[in-house]
Amino acid sequence: MVTSRLQEHTTGVNRGWSPWLPGLPGTNTPDRNFTVGRRDSLGGSGSPSRFTVLQMLPALECGGVERGTLEVAAALVRRGHRSIVVSSGGRLSGMLVRQGSEHLLWPLGIKSPLTLRRIPALRRYLRQQKVDIIHVRSRMPAWIAWLAWRGMNPLTRPRLVTTVHGLYSVNRYSAIMTRGERLIAISDTAHRYIQENYPKLPEGRIRTIYRGIDPDGFPYGYQPQPAWLGAFRREFPGVVGRHVITLPGRLSRRKGHEDFVALLERLITAGLPVHGLIVGDGGGNGRHMIRMRRLIRSRGLDRHISFTGHRQDIRELFAVSCIVLSLSHEPEAFGRTVAEALHMGRPVIGYDHGGVGEILGRLFPRGCVHPGNLDALASRTREFIEQAPVVPENRFYSIANMLEATLGLYEELAAGRQGIESGARPGFPPG
């Protein structure tokens, strides 16, 4: 039974409470007075004092989407709002709950007809919990949310927000990310992607809210503690006395690991004292790592390249790196690791396309290299090794600005201060 499975996977603040069977022995009764910011009870244009936001994404692992979700969730809690996140779980689930959010462990990211069975349950949950805002961050959860949402009364249902985190293939499946009453574009690149591929979408529904970097998490000029340095050198002895070049990112074929290996081979052959770090894991798929290890071994680079796996100390790794790289073959909507490293004052070299090119062009143009140009990549890397460039301190990508804009959008929608500018039925883009 769908409801029983949902009950089994409910975690967080409402652990042990069944949203479908309130009042049964062993359950807790939710605080119905918690959410007082419903737009149908606000009266006029006043800002809501409290509201409930439900964010939806496939999982809570270690990527930029997940971290952004936690940042918004924590900000909601700090301001006295109710924060709920729906995902299949992951490394960040515990942190989410500790920050005061509720986590519903529902696997909504699986591309299967079985996932559609959760639509009625989600619709009931939205009604019973009086959710004010649904914020979806991925395509399959967006389909589930939208199908549940469109079957609700337009006068009382939650407001629907989508965030375009990626430059998705343009098709009917991806078009779901344009069904929000408001669309958040995380960069100018993402904004252009929406405009170019969905030209009938009213511009007034799109909001550009740049991803933000935590200044405390990635402070300019940060230096690791001696204890951490000692442990790092013992774990990776190959870095001692070498210039560390770091490539962060999930282990997948599109992240440019082959280019990274080719670069290191050129630098080593030229006699430069360098050591490469590949930071990240394969997200459950180890085939690419196997291929990369074989490639590294065939090039005789075993001693010169280290795999770190997933790390919680990415700040420290950036700090000991003389250069951080971004070599994705396909343009991305944003480049969070690029912005983080630059925020710390570390030189970054990246392929000049998509969000990475946008960030580098704005903060550190010297780091731009034409995509796939290994000669230019090697030349620029050698240049930075021989004379380390100064990266100017910059606060353009501010987490405070990101959170203020996001919560401001929530308040606007929850209070009903601004209608849908398209003139179309809410949630149904023209065409």
- 58-78 pLDDT per residue, tens: 999 877 899 999 999 999 999
The residue with greater pLDDT, 261 or 10, is: 261
pLDDT at position 245 over 80: yes
Structure confidence at residue 284 (pLDDT): 56
- Could you identify the residue written with the tokens 């409930």? 52
Question: What's the rounded Cα separation, in Å, for the pair 346 and 392?
Answer: 9
- Per-residue pLDDT of 31-51, as tens digits, reads 323 233 333 333 333 455 899
The contacts of residue 81 (CB under 8 Å, 6+ apart) are: 37, 50, 51, 52, 53, 410
pLDDT at position 252 over 90: no
pLDDT at position 221 over 60: yes
Which token pair is 104?
């519903």
> Which of 89, 93, 55, 122 is CA-nearest to residue 407?
55
Q: What is the largest CA-CA distance in the chain?
A: 72
Q: E-strand spans in 260-363?
A: 274-279, 305-309, 323-326, 348-351
Structure confidence at residue 47 (pLDDT): 52
What pLDDT band is residue 283 in, cutting at 50, 70 and 90?
A: low
Which token pair is 374?
């290994």
Which token pair is 214?
């935590």
Decide: 400 and 78 in contact? Cβ < 8 Å: no
Which token pair is 121?
């349950």
Structure confidence at residue 48 (pLDDT): 59
pLDDT at position 340 over 90: yes
Question: DSSP letter at 145?
Answer: H
Residue 136: phi, psi to the nearest 5?
-105, 140
Cα dihedral sign, 277-283-284-290: negative
Q: Is 282 exposed, middle or buried (0-12, 13-18, 19+ CB in 10 A)?
A: middle
pTM for this model (two decimals): 0.83
How does the average pLDDT of the chain come out, rounded? 86
Q: At what angle do helices 119-128 and 139-150 cross, to 10 degrees?
A: 70
Comparing 199-203, 283-287, 324-328, 344-348, which segment has the lowest mean pLDDT?
Answer: 283-287
pLDDT at position 26 over 90: no
- Which domains does the chain possess? 2-212+401-415 (3.40.50.2000), 226-386 (3.40.50.2000)
Structure confidence at residue 425 (pLDDT): 44
The contacts of residue 166 (CB under 8 Å, 6+ apart) are: 332, 333
Structure confidence at residue 29 (pLDDT): 29
Structure confidence at residue 114 (pLDDT): 77
- Per-residue pLDDT of 184-203, as tens digits, reads 999 999 999 999 999 999 99
What pLDDT band is residue 111 in, cutting at 50, 70 and 90?
A: confident
CA dist list (Å): 280 to 57, 218, 247, 277, 314: 20, 18, 9, 10, 10
pLDDT at position 28 over 70: no
Question: What's the rounded Cα separation, in Å, for the pair 164 and 111?
Answer: 19
Structure confidence at residue 255 (pLDDT): 92
- Within 10 angstroms of residue 370's Cβ, the number of other Cβ atoms is 12
Separation of CA 57 from chain center:
10
